[in-house]
Chains A and B, each alone.
Chain A
């Protein structure tokens, strides 16, 4: 199952909450530099799967392997350090902080300054801080928010907050980026911009897994689609194949009589 070339491998994963089987025997793997869409009706277990991959809670059984290492039971912040970053379905920015500071927090695992360093402000720490700020500006440039670096993050319009959260996730220099409904609440122009951004993110060598209800976007950017329904994987393959799959049609539209 575990091919050497895969970035992330999920092997017969199970997770139940009380009597509800949220994830039931799900397996798949992600190739490096791929963009994979995770779709399915509401309650299919998509966000649960995200939470399992990012270590928010452990699976009941099954194995998750990232870059050849098992990551079951690792803490959320350790996984970020290993290179797994995410965004949230309901944007979760640090609302009291500026746009730039949000990105700087995103670099937490890639910078080293501790309590003592912050007080002493040694040349090494000052250089680190200067570089971090420069990189943060570059990331803001990348998502098109460079002019708003000093704004309070909560003052940005919703669509921009999504972009900021994306930039913050990229700040941790991830190998795998999980996007939880990145287009929700965006207008058509913003969704188009997002599609281009996702393609550009892949060009930087980052693997993307996204949960998305906007089918046009999903079909356009993804190389591979995985369909979940009631916690089970019901289909997997290139967008065209999955679109015409009978089980998928049944899950979304109900079974034909």
Chain B
């Protein structure tokens, strides 16, 4: 019970901080960076539900991110449909594909599941690049319209900031509810021991499939938000490297932690921005920072920071 209360407080503090940031920050660059943090948080959270809680690794998650982005790009630009019609289609497409891919793939475990999802991710990324007439091929897809509701157009960074972070807050609450429910407990049970979970009556195949589908739908939504923020998408954003980046966000931020998704997404979005000063050495420093986090905070930022806090408090008591 106490845990649920602290989560409500955390959500209120988080909402207040996000609102304050949205109102006070005037610099367009900062607002944009924070929008990307929001989109990446949603993406990391989607994978964290699958990987952190249910213990099923996906090395092809960027595929669903890309499916959301390309679905809305094609429907709202090529076919001139409203993005609000494109959104359910984009999510539905991800759900159907996740379902079809999930049935055989989720029978695999460990490395094999990794390989299976990796293959899937690569196939989708090749389709984005090679299906020139539909996706615009390697040169990308141009001219995606901004989102609008009635006469209100989300074409300023500030309005989009509130849209994205509103969505993120919604999913924070939703995911927390799932995790604390019967479904969430079954997922965590699968993570701890799949045989034991089945032995107490959990239909493990069905559970894994539903969380995979949910996770894909969330990633697709993140792709939708991304496409309508940047107006231009290219296959590079949804490649194998993008999938690895999402996995890194989850691991660095903290597996099985909702706030870890926020921390991981923040670090991995901000780091490249900060490291521009290192010019040629950027990638080296980037790798070094990730290594240091994993060496000193092997359970991720969230758990690591909590451990440091708890240790210092213990010292004070003595």
The B interface, classified by DSSP as helix, strand, loop or mixed, is helix
> Quick check: is A222 within 8 A (CB to CB) of the other chain?
no
Tell whether A77 pairs with B196 under 8 Å between CB atoms, given A115-B178, A119-B174, A119-B178. no
Q: Give CA–CA (A11, B203) in the complex, Å.
A: 28
Which A residues are CB-close (under 8 A) to B178? Answer: 115, 118-119
Interface residues on chain B, number (Cβ under 8 Å)? 28
Q: Given A88-B199, A119-B178, A121-B177 in contact, is the A105-B183 Cβ separation under 8 Å?
A: no
Chain B residues in 8 Å Cβ range of A76 = 198-199
- B184: A residues at CB distance < 8 A: 118
B170 to chain A, nearest CB (A): 10
Q: Which of A16-24, A93-101, A139-147, A200-208 touches B? A: A93-101
Say whether A81 faces chain B, with CB atoms less than 8 Å apart. yes
Please indicate which of the listed interface residues A86, A93, A108, A171 has the most CB atoms of chain B within 10 Å of its own CB. Answer: A108
The residue from B182, B195, B198, B200 contacting A172, defined by CB atoms under 8 A apart: B200
Docked-complex contact B186 and A105, CB < 8 angstroms: yes
Given contacts A115-B183, A119-B177, A121-B177, contact A105 B198 (CB under 8 A): no
Report how many residues on chain A are interfacial, defined by Cβ distance under 8 Å. Answer: 38
Q: Are A88 and B196 in contact (CB under 8 A)?
A: yes
Q: Within 8 Å CB of B199, what residues of A?
A: 54, 76, 80, 86, 88, 92
Name the contact of A109 in the complex, choosing from B177, B188, B201, B204 (C-beta under 8 A): B201
Nearest-CB residue, chain B, relative to A117: B181
Q: Which of B186, B200, B203, B210 contacts A75 (CB 8 A)?
A: B203
Whether B201 pairs with A80 at a CB distance below 8 angstroms is: yes
Quick check: is B293 within 8 A (CB to CB) of the other chain? Answer: no
Can you spell out 13 A-B residue pairs with CB atoms less than 8 angstroms apart?
A: A77-B198, A85-B200, A96-B256, A97-B188, A105-B185, A105-B186, A105-B189, A105-B197, A108-B182, A108-B185, A108-B186, A115-B178, A118-B184
Extra contacts, 7 of them, besides A97-B192, A105-B189, A125-B181 (Cβ < 8 A), are A76-B199, A81-B201, A88-B196, A92-B199, A94-B197, A101-B185, A106-B200
